[in-house]
Amino acid sequence: MLPIRSSDAAKTRLGLALDPEERDVLVLGMFANTVGVLAGWPSCRLVHVVTSDYAVIDVVARDLTSVLTVSDPGTGLNDALRAGRDAAVAAGATAVLMLPADLPLLNTASLDRLLAAADATIAAGNGGPVVIIAPADARTGTNALLLAPPHVIEPHFGPESFAAHLRAAATVEASVQIIDDPLLGFDLDTTDDLERLDLARRLELEAIGDEIEDALTFANVG
């Protein structure tokens, strides 16, 4: 599952490097890429997107039957993730993967490595609760959180979330695996991150975002 705010509110810290239109296009491109990667990942049964921006979801997921929209309660990121988790459990999920939408290098190979770690950890723990964490590059934030069962710990995304998730897992004596993966570890959050992103990849994401912007404009005109 992944939460997505309105593109107008997202990634304001990129404002020093990009004007609002450029920022929105890039945010939309990353979001669409993340949804597409998840929807195309054979191990993912359903993608739950938590949002209040239904117009964007309609465009991004119009040809994807495995994407479901969950209403954002509007009370913060972790409440949004809880809403997505609860919807996934109601749909029969026995494990959930929580991701941000700003992972420009995400692909199915990185997700396969995350799942392989979860399978190995479950086997080693004789089926006990498992928490798999992919930290951000700086090892303060969390860029992927896989939980089996889904309620084993609560999400603690935000400042110092990596340490918070480790503490929560220790409290319930869950088996923990930390995955250091450059594709999962890199998130696009600041102007420094933008400078580190390969220009060709940035242009690919912007092209995707431009297509979505055009589709939204056409829908609004129609």
More confident: 66 or 6? 66
For the chain, give the mean pLDDT.
89
> pTM for the full model?
0.90
- Shortest CA distance to 155 belongs to which of 77, 56, 45? 77
* Length, in residues, of the chain: 222
Determine how many CB atoms are found less than 10 A away from the CB of residue 141: 20
Q: Predicted confidence band at 24 (pLDDT cuts at 50, 70, 90)?
A: confident
- Averaged pLDDT, 57-79: 89
Q: Predicted confidence band at 70 (pLDDT cuts at 50, 70, 90)?
A: very high
Largest Cα separation within the chain, whole Å, is 57
Q: Each residue of 78-102: pLDDT tens digit?
A: 999 999 999 999 999 999 999 998 8
More confident: 219 or 213? 213
- Averaged pLDDT, 134-157: 94
Q: Is the pLDDT of residue 120 over 60?
A: yes
Which pLDDT score, from 0 to 100, does residue 17 have? 65
Q: For the chain, what is the total number of helices (H) and then of strands (E)?
A: 8, 7
- Averaged pLDDT, 7-12: 50
Which pLDDT score, from 0 to 100, does residue 14 have? 62
Specify which residues 2 forms β-bridges with: 49
What's the burial of 200, exposed, middle or buried (CB within 10 Å: 0-12/13-18/19+)? exposed
In the three-class reduction of DSSP (H, G, I as helix; E, B as strand; rest coil), residue 8 is classed as coil
What is the CA 149 to chain-centroid distance, rounded? 19
Q: Is the pLDDT of residue 136 over 80?
A: yes
Which of the 8 DSSP states describes residue 14? G
- Averaged pLDDT, 56-65: 83
Q: Which domains does the chain have, with CATH numbers?
A: 2-221 (3.90.550.10)
More confident: 61 or 87? 87
Q: Predicted confidence band at 126 (pLDDT cuts at 50, 70, 90)?
A: confident
Q: Which amino acid is at 29?
A: G
Q: How far apart are alpha carbons 140 and 73 in whole angstroms?
A: 26
Alpha-helix residue ranges (DSSP H) falling in the chain: 20-39, 54-60, 77-90, 108-124, 161-171, 182-185, 191-196, 199-221
Helix (H) or strand (E) holding 4: strand 2-4
Q: Is the pLDDT of residue 59 over 90?
A: no
Q: Is the pLDDT of residue 13 over 60?
A: no
Q: Is the pLDDT of residue 8 over 50?
A: no
Determine how many CB atoms are found less than 10 A away from the CB of residue 73: 12
Q: Is the pLDDT of residue 204 over 80?
A: yes
Which pLDDT score, from 0 to 100, does residue 190 have? 82
